[in-house]
Structure 1
Amino acid sequence: MTTPSVRPVLVVTNVDDPTADLVIDELHGRGVPVVRFDSGDFPATLSCSAYIGGGTTRWGGSVATPTRLAELGGVRSLYYRRPSGFTLPHLDVQDERFAITQARYGLGGVLTSLPDCLYVNHPNRIGDAEYKPAGLAVAAVCGFELPPTLITNRPDDARAFIKAEGPVIYKPLWVPLYQVEGQAQTIPVTVVEAAEIAESVAGTMHLFQALVDKVADVRVTVIGDQVFTVRIDCGLLDWRTDYSTHTYTPLAPPPDVERALHAYLRHFGLVFGAFDFTLSADGTWTFIECNPSGQWAWMEPPTGLPMTSALADLLERGTS
């Protein structure tokens, strides 16, 4: 087991995360020590001891994998990506539920309370920002243009909204793991008619949004103070459904949009955000959403934008 003499970067993510791999390779090339783990590995191959009080005013102790150990007081930054959840299948249902809550509030609580650590992003702030209603409300206050939006479980309200604002799209408020024959599926944005709204809509909340007449999509990745903006031309309603159709073009956001980007992130306490916009023929940028853990690496090769380097710079610098 090795204990880095230089303050390490913690990378918390699942085992299959090529985006994190790129950043870790960049950090290794700079000689920056990295301790990577998946919180879902606890307690099988991940352990933690933390102490405070008795004259100490901040957490001490360590977190350890089979090959790495990081002192809690010496972490320079924590890159929180997409860890898997805690699972303890060897326990019965009640014991597992109890143990998972202890892990979440114990290990999770320690990892969100590290002293002098830069979070990219802080897990609690990610949780706040992942609520689409909160994101839309903050986007409006920050000055972004928004499409008319309804979140409801009332079928009659949904039908009335579609008739008033149509054409209208439906998209999920959150996308949990959804599998068909063992394969993970993406739930695409879909145009919906009033006649398609069944009474079953009453069973949960749904997000309906007026369809924006767009000529392109825009993905803006903000990393610290740096803003990387890419126009995506593909002719698709939902560009995530077929990446082979895309043409990528770097561009600069309008000054008012760039100011609003930083205001949005400051509100949520984030240093990273992946923003999606539509671009209309008249030049209007319409805010769709911001993902505080969004993907960006696939756009780097075709555009040459140095996003991996920018993220490594942020993590290497930490709070200093």
Structure 2
Amino acid sequence: MDGRPVLVCTQDEDATADLVIAELNQRRVPVIRFDPGQDFPALVVLAARTGAGGWGGRLAIGQRTADLSAVRALYHRRPSTYAMGGGGQAARFAAQENRRGLGGVLTALPGCLYVSHPQAIARAEYKPAQLDTATRVGLAVPATLITNDAVEAKAFCAEQPAIYKPLHAAAYHVAGEPAGIWAAPAGPDEIDDAVSRCAHLFQAQVPKVADVRAVVVGERVFSARITAPPGVVDWRSEYRNLVYEPVTCPEGIRGALVRFLAGFDLSFGAFDFAVTADDAWWFLECNPNGQWAWLQAAAGLPITNAIADLLANGASHHD
């Protein structure tokens, strides 16, 4: 294995990234881990220069230095947002300069494999684009309405059993405690003028008997069937009461997932499906940078090795 490094961009405490780094270390692949939003400029020195072959120069963190023209891969896990202490106009200016300077260089490395490219992840986080792409690649997608019109919302929820779910899984707090906004049934009698305050996503409720989380790494698909207690709409609200079972992804769906990632130029995706009694898989969403370590442990899926393969080799892999 050559000496070209893998950059891992994530927060200080990231147990999921730790698994991948440990595997790369076992394979003697050089790894440089840092959090661009927090570590630069205090702990990181950047000296990037343009050249005929793309950006070159160096990125130094302590005693470790990466040749920017020879980065093997960049694992964009969950880095912090760019911020500067102190607040005020000068701090805001510096944070934006860092984002566009260091962040810009990191997104333009020559010959670098991205898992995945930060801009591709950002594009793929929009659920309207996800649902459109899923339909185009041949996945079954429940009828969906995005609206701020209470009349439209009432009509949609009266046409069929429906659920509401947020368009973005942002951090949310209730009385100072972290909380989740889960997908939940939405009847027409529950709809009022509060819908007009922002965009809302309503979706036909799939009569599911289970869920599937399919983690796609390059062209390798790892799937687990997730069974929640009866009546649970969103399995994420019942993490302690779930049953996991590894399952084989149907070939037609596997191909559609690979085409979905290609449409967004992604190397990774965590897909959620609702599964009906006739074993039909209904696409719900894709998290382009979703969590997977807990699923690996619960269902015995070798996801760490697959990601390490991708980062170390930069080649496509097939089941």
TM-score, normalised by the number of residues in structure 1:
0.93
Q: Is the 8 A contact 2:274 2:283 kept in 1?
A: yes
In 2, Cα distance between equivalents of 1:198 and 1:49: 55
The answer to whether 1:128 aligns with 2:123 is yes
Q: Is the 8 A contact 1:117 1:319 kept in 2?
A: no
Q: Is the 8 A contact 1:76 1:319 kept in 2?
A: no
Q: Is the 8 A contact 1:7 1:76 kept in 2?
A: yes
Task: State how 1:16-95 maps to structure 2 within 5 Å.
Answer: 16-41=13-38, 42-53=40-51, 56-92=52-88, 94-95=89-90
Q: Given the alignment, which residue of 245, 253, 256 partners 1:260?
A: 256
TM-superposed deviation, 1:117: 0.6
TM-superposed deviation, 1:182: 4.0
In 2, Cα distance between equivalents of 1:103 and 1:208: 38
TM-superposed deviation, 1:89: 2.5
In 2, Cα distance between equivalents of 1:50 and 1:314: 26
The answer to whether 1:306 aligns with 2:299 is no
Q: Given the alignment, which residue of 112, 131, 141 partners 1:117?
A: 112
Question: 3-state SS of the aligned residue for 1:249?
Answer: strand
Q: Is the 8 A contact 2:270 2:289 kept in 1?
A: yes
* Aligned equivalent of 2:228: 234
Residue 119 of structure 1 aligns with an amino acid whose one-letter code is: Y
Q: Is the 8 A contact 1:168 1:209 kept in 2?
A: yes
TM-superposed deviation, 1:239: 0.9
* Aligned equivalent of 2:140: 145
* Aligned equivalent of 2:284: 288
TM-superposed deviation, 1:30: 1.2
Assess, with a 3 A threshold, how the Cα gap between structure 1 residues 76 and 250 changes in structure 2: closer, same or farther: same
In 2, Cα distance between equivalents of 1:65 and 1:313: 25
Residue 209 of structure 1 aligns with an amino acid whose one-letter code is: Q
Residue 300 of structure 1 aligns with an amino acid whose one-letter code is: Q
Residue 113 of structure 2 aligns with an amino acid whose one-letter code is: L
TM-superposed deviation, 1:241: 1.1
TM-superposed deviation, 1:201: 1.4
Identity within the alignment, %: 50
Q: Is the 8 A contact 2:215 2:292 kept in 1?
A: yes
In 2, Cα distance between equivalents of 1:125 and 1:154: 31
Assess, with a 3 A threshold, how the Cα gap between structure 1 residues 222 and 50 changes in structure 2: closer, same or farther: same
- How many residue pairs match? The answer is 312
Q: Given the alignment, which residue of 191, 209, 217 partners 2:185?
A: 191
TM-superposed deviation, 1:97: 2.5
TM-score, normalised by the number of residues in structure 2:
0.94
Structure 2 unaligned segments of length 5 or more: list them: none
* Aligned equivalent of 2:196: 202
In 2, Cα distance between equivalents of 1:278 and 1:202: 29
TM-superposed deviation, 1:255: 1.7
Structure 1 unaligned segments of length 5 or more: list them: none
Q: Is the 8 A contact 2:48 2:57 kept in 1?
A: yes
